Structure formats: structure tokens, C-alpha cells
Chain A
Amino acid sequence: MLLRQNILTALRGLLSNKLRSGLTILGIVIGVAAVVALMAIGNGATSDITDRIQSSGTNLLNIQAGRSSRPTAGQPPQQTFLTYKDYQILSQNLTEVSGIAPAFSSNYTITAGINTDSVSVSGVTESYLSVRLYEIKEGRNISERDNLKSQQVAILGSSTAETFFGTESALDQKIKIDDKTFTVIGVLKSKGSSGFTNEDDLIWIPLETGYDKLFGANAIRNGERVLSGISVSAVNAESVESVSSQVTFVMRRAHEIGLDEEDDFRVTNQAAMLETLSSVTSTLTAFLGAVAALSLLVGGIGIMNITLVSVSERTREIGLRKAVGARKEHILFQFLIETVTLAVTGGLIGILSGIAIALIVTTLGLVTARITLSSILLSFFFSLAVGVFFGLYPAYRASNLHPMEALRSE
């Protein structure tokens, strides 16, 4: 009976002073909405990134030149290179590998018809397509023959094709790379471009053609043909680690690196990257949540403030309740119910607003927000706890009022 009466009294008080109640719970509403929306957006972004990495293959290893540590102070950084010879040695020595693809990439100005744009051009072999998990939409892949004959042919990424040829088919069209004419022999299927870089904006040409006619001195160091990177695909996800150590072993031997010297190349694999990235994004999501939770705390202080005002406004009522038989704990309980009602009402409105924000963000196509039950439960119970915690002090003050003095207050 008392509980029902208390909740009724609390709700009646809330409704009779809508503006004040609204402003009081605003902090909680904003806090909860922020927690729910930010967690949803954070989770959505995480899974977007994860999906993207998985689409480029979790069995993939990338080898690039460079040391992982910073150069010693005072010494000029020693440049390191990956050479075509490294590729040949690796392809002869690696096991548990389903494909190995060398590439040399550089940005060039491309002209096709009246359009001009700068695009990354990669010299590749026929295996690059399958190792990087691309697919041909129309036309054909670069062949071994294209490489042997140094053919001036090119494959366009889906968005590159769209940039230069619009809705028209790019196939058999001519493009100019640095004033040299190439014929388009294929267009790639889109990989989807939500993320940091656009994996559909690129041009592939045969590696040999690049060395012979395009890259010039950039691709030669100490008389050796150099590569920007070598991609290796392991036969399955379990063998990624083993392939990675094979690569390190073979490369260290090929580059004649002493026991106490560090690698002059880096081997990265997508699985490890995925782990790092998801740990980064979940830290970020938690951080966003924590910032939002701070606003909940501020909201709680707002509730406490208003409840303290309410206690002093209602001193006579408290005195009366005590006069008709209310014990301390009855008064304490009544005010706690009121703050909890305020906080929980704010929490519920906040949850609905947070879901609405997440849906709007998704509809706008910014990020596919993923609303999680855990974030809803978390913010609901957090607002409940805020109500109890910040209600305790005002309620305690109310319950300790002297009945006679309370009755006589103006």
C-alpha cells in the first residue's frame, strides 16, 4: 500500500511540475541517450572494420621493407628494400602457401578521354588477383603472357572505372598512364569501401611492363628491381603463423642479417591486425561509453540538487507525515522513490532517444549502428543507481527533520 502510494505521489509531483521535472531529468536523458547511441555506433564501426579486414582475407600476410624500430639518434635512417629476387627466393622456399604475389605501386596521373586523376598504379603478376581476394567483374585477369611480352594492358578497380568511364563499359578503352597508352582488359568487382581507404580505386598493370616502360629508375636500387610489397596467402588460417616464421627465416638468410641484427623487413598478417584493431575499437567504444557515463553523473547531481530544494519546500508535508505516524524510514523511502522515479523516467526516455539517434545515423548511411542489449541494460541500471545514490542524501536530510520544527516552517 505504502509503496503504491509513494510511487503515485512521486508521479503526481513529477507531472504537476512538468518543466522542472523535465529539466531535472534532462541530464539523465542526455547521458543515457549518449551511452546507448555511442555504444551502438562504436559497435557498428567495429564490425564494419572487422568485416572489411575479413574481406581482404585473414590468411593473408604482407611483407614490406623497413625496420620496425626507430633509427638510432644521430644516424641517418638506413633505407631498406624488398627486391624481385626476394620474391623469387620466397616462392621457391615457402611451404603451406597457396599463392604469392609481388607488387610495385606508385601514384600516377591518369588521363582517359577528358578526365584526369591521380590513381595508385600497381605492377602485379597474375596471382595477385587470387591472393588479394579480388574478383573480375568483366574482362580478364593479367596473364603470364602479358608479363612476358610487357603488354601495355591494365585492370581497373570498380570505382576507378566509374570515375573515368561512368556507366559506360571500360573494357577495351584506352587510358594514358604518364602519357603511355594502356588498353583496359578487365574491371574488378567492388570490395565495398566503408573504411579508411578505398580498395576499389586502383589500376593494375603487368609487373614486367611497369619495370620496362613506366616505373623507370624508381623501381631500381643498386641494380636490383625493387618491390613495394609481397603478398603471401597461407593455405588456411592455422598456417598463417608458420608461414610468417618461414618468411622471416628465408628473408633473414636472403638479406644476410646477423644474429644480433634486427629484420630489415616487416611481416604483417591480417589476423593479427584484426586482433589489434578490434582491441583498439573496443577500447574506444568503452571510452566513449565512459565519457557518456560522466554526463549521467552530472545528471545525478542535478537530481540531487532539485530533490534538496524539494525537501526544503515540502518541510511542512514531511512534518505532517511524521505527525500522523510516519517513521524516519518511511520518509527516507518516499524521497528515494521520488528520485528513483525521476532517474528511471529519464533513463527510459534516454534509451528511446539513444535508439532513435542510432537508427537515424544508420539511415543516413554513416555507420551501421548496432544497438546492444547490454548497453541498454547498463544505462538503465546505471540511471537507477544514480537515482538511489543521489537521492540518499536529500532523503536522509528529510527523514531527520524534527517533526515539530518541520510543521512550523513556513
Chain B
Amino acid sequence: MTEAMIRAEGLTKIFNVGSEEIRALDDVSFSIQHGESLAIMGPSGSGKSTLMSIIGCLDVANAGTYELDGEKVEQLSDARLADIRGRKIGFVFQQFNLLARTSALENVMLPLTYTNLSGKQIKERAMAALKTVGLAERVKHTPSELSGGQQQRVAIARAIVNQPAILIADEPTGALDSKTGIEIMQLFQDLHQKNGQTVIMVTHDLFVARHTNRVIILSDGKIKADEFNQHVIKAGTDRSQIEEYRI
């Protein structure tokens, strides 16, 4: 393995809700190498979303250090954080978060409009990203004209259009039926294997988590388990085929 891409040391995040103090993250340490694929699991309130937002530079911890590619994120300005999000990180959300009334192509172009690329380059890259997710035929469609799975593909195209080193997905299959969910998992595995992108998935579903190489389980803001998957599920396998994930 190469040098760690992400190094977190004693991360602590405290939210003040009214007079109550909530420790969303409590002294969390880990590191992630280039090209890993991992899942962050835990019940709701375990701090997994908070951890995701810190890894994705959407937020900074109250204490501890978070290093991304050797840069100490706590010390960076808002503008610099925005730049890092734009260049190194791609986000995929449970609710897709596509812009309404805006074509698939323009949605995918969005991250690049905040760069210095020319209009032509932006369009070319967006087209290429849409091709990667298998939506080259639907570039002119607006989100309301696309199915849930197609919308999530557009969102994935948007996440990869800036060729980020890290792909962060927050419950990417949460709003999809199981068949579409499996297709999306397939896409993530392909992106990880073919493009070598680091994939970090936040989920509460062990079946989804087992599609990655490593699982970190959070509970009450602390890491309860951090282990490598012995049996990575190959995308395409139906949930019902594996005894322990049957619902």
C-alpha cells in the first residue's frame, strides 16, 4: 500500500442542541489508503453522517486532525475547502440532489462551472461522464423525466465529472428499489476497479456495506469495529441469495 491518503487522528465533533451537548464523534482515528473501497456503518445517530461530512470537507472537527493528501484541513480557509471539494471529492446523495428543470447534461456540468475550464471542455467532460454511467442517450432529459435509478446515475456522473480521487456516497441506494440498487452498486464497483477511485460509502445496510473491501462500524461516535471484508459481495448478486442478508 502507498502512503495514506486520509489520516484522521482523534477526531471529535460536538454539536450544541439547545443547552444539550451532543458528541457526534468522539476521538475517532483511522486512515484510508489510495484506491480503497470502504463502508461506514452504524445506526442513526452513531455519527456516520458527521464523519462523512468531515471526510468530504463539508465540515471540520472541533478537535483532532484530519489530513487529506498531507494537508491539514482544519487550517484551511472556506474558499480553499470549496476548492478541495471541487477537485478531489465527488458526492452522491440518497436523494440525488439534482437541480430541477435542468437537463442531465447541465446537472453534470455544474461542478465544472466552478473551475476555469472552457465551456467546450466542460461539455465534453460532462458527456464523457454521462457515457460512463450509461446515460449518453438521455443528456437532454430533466430529472422529472428520468427514473430514480437514472437520476442516481446522473448524480454519479456529476460526482465523477471532476475526476475526483475520492467518491463519497451517502446511502446511495436508500431511495431505490433493490434491483436498481444492485445496478448502482455495480456502477460503484466498476468505478472503483476500473478508475481506481477511492469509494467511501455511508450506509446502515450490511448487504450494501459488504460490497466494499473494508467496513468501519460506528456507535455513539466511536469506532466499534474496523475490519477488512473476507467475502466481498460481487455486485449483481441478489440479496435473497445470501442467507444472512435476507429480510
Question: What is the interface of chain A, defined by CB distance below 8 A to chain B?
Answer: 1-2, 4-5, 9, 12-13, 16, 316-317, 319-330, 402-404, 407-408
- Residues in B neighbouring A316, C-beta threshold 8 A: 97
Closest A residue by C-beta to B88: A325
- Find residues 77-111 in chain B having any chain A CB closer than 8 Å to their own CB: 78-79, 82-83, 85-87, 91, 93, 97, 99, 101-102, 106, 109-111
Give chain B nearest CB distance to A10 CB in angstroms.
Answer: 12
- Residues in B neighbouring A404, C-beta threshold 8 A: 53, 58-59
A324 B58 Cβ-Cβ under 8 A: no
Q: Given A1-B119, A12-B102, A323–B85 Cβ distance below 8 Å?
A: yes
Q: How far is the CA of A319 from the CA of B101 in the complex (A)?
A: 18
- Residues in B neighbouring A324, C-beta threshold 8 A: 85-86, 91, 110-111, 114, 158, 162
Closest B residue by C-beta to A4: B119
Q: How far is the CA of A330 from the CA of B49 in the complex (A)?
A: 26
Could you say which of B49, B58, B111 contacts A403, with CB atoms under 8 Å apart? B58
Give chain B nearest CB distance to A339 CB in angstroms.
Answer: 19
B110-144 vs A, Cβ < 8 Å mask (1 yes, 0 no)? 11011101110010000000000000000000000
Could you say which of A317, A322, A323, A330 contacts B99, with CB atoms under 8 Å apart? A317
Could you say which of A2, A327, A402 contacts B83, with CB atoms under 8 Å apart? A327
A325 B58 Cβ-Cβ under 8 A: no
Residue among B91, B97, B102 facing the most chain A CB atoms (10 A cut-off): B97
- Residues in A neighbouring B119, C-beta threshold 8 A: 1, 4
- Name B's interface SS: helix
B58 A323 Cβ-Cβ under 8 A: yes
The verdict on B221 contacting chain A, using a C-beta distance below 8 Å, is no
Residue among A1, A316, A325, A326 facing the most chain B CB atoms (10 A cut-off): A325
Q: Given A316-B97, A322-B85, A407–B111 Cβ distance below 8 Å?
A: no
Closest A residue by C-beta to B123: A1
Q: How far is the CA of A214 from the CA of B116 in the complex (A)?
A: 94
- The interface on chain B, measured as residues whose beta carbon lies within 8 A of the other chain's beta carbons, has a size of 31
- Residues in A neighbouring B172, C-beta threshold 8 A: none
Q: How far is the CA of A330 from the CA of B83 in the complex (A)?
A: 12
A402 B114 Cβ-Cβ under 8 A: no
The verdict on B56 contacting chain A, using a C-beta distance below 8 Å, is yes
Q: How far is the CA of A9 from the CA of B101 in the complex (A)?
A: 9
Closest B residue by C-beta to A13: B101
In the A-B complex, list the 10 residue pairs whose CB atoms are closest, starting with the nearest: A325-B86, A324-B111, A327-B82, A404-B53, A404-B58, A325-B114, A403-B58, A320-B97, A404-B59, A1-B119
Q: How far is the CA of A407 from the CA of B168 in the complex (A)?
A: 14
- Residues in A neighbouring B114, C-beta threshold 8 A: 2, 321, 324-327, 330
- Residues in A neighbouring B59, C-beta threshold 8 A: 402-404
Residue among A1, A2, A328 facing the most chain B CB atoms (10 A cut-off): A1
Give chain A nearest CB distance to B211 CB in angstroms.
Answer: 23
Could you say which of A5, A317, A325 contacts B162, with CB atoms under 8 Å apart? A325
- Residues in B neighbouring A320, C-beta threshold 8 A: 93, 97, 99
- Residues in A neighbouring B91, C-beta threshold 8 A: 323-324
Give chain A nearest CB distance to B86 CB in angstroms.
Answer: 2
B99 A325 Cβ-Cβ under 8 A: no
- Residues in B neighbouring A403, C-beta threshold 8 A: 53, 58-59, 85
Closest A residue by C-beta to B87: A325
Closest B residue by C-beta to A16: B101
- Find residues 36-71 in chain B having any chain A CB closer than 8 Å to their own CB: 49, 53, 56, 58-59
A407 B97 Cβ-Cβ under 8 A: yes
- Residues in A neighbouring B93, C-beta threshold 8 A: 320, 407
Q: How far is the CA of A408 from the CA of B95 in the complex (A)?
A: 10
Closest B residue by C-beta to A400: B78
Could you say which of B79, B106, B158 contacts A327, with CB atoms under 8 Å apart? B79
Could you say which of B58, B82, B99, B122 contacts A326, with CB atoms under 8 Å apart? B82
Q: How far is the CA of A402 from the CA of B97 in the complex (A)?
A: 16
Q: How far is the CA of A79 from the CA of B181 in the complex (A)?
A: 105
Q: How far is the CA of A4 from the CA of B82 in the complex (A)?
A: 21
Closest A residue by C-beta to B85: A325
Could you say which of A4, A9, A317, A407 contacts B58, with CB atoms under 8 Å apart? A407
Q: How far is the CA of A335 from the CA of B111 in the complex (A)?
A: 17
B101 A321 Cβ-Cβ under 8 A: no
Give chain B nearest CB distance to A193 CB in angstroms.
Answer: 60
Give chain B nearest CB distance to A371 CB in angstroms.
Answer: 38
Residue among A324, A327, A329 facing the most chain B CB atoms (10 A cut-off): A324
Q: Given A323-B91, A403-B59, A1–B110 Cβ distance below 8 Å?
A: no
- Residues in B neighbouring A5, C-beta threshold 8 A: 106, 109, 113
A323 B122 Cβ-Cβ under 8 A: no
- Residues in B neighbouring A323, C-beta threshold 8 A: 56, 58, 85, 91
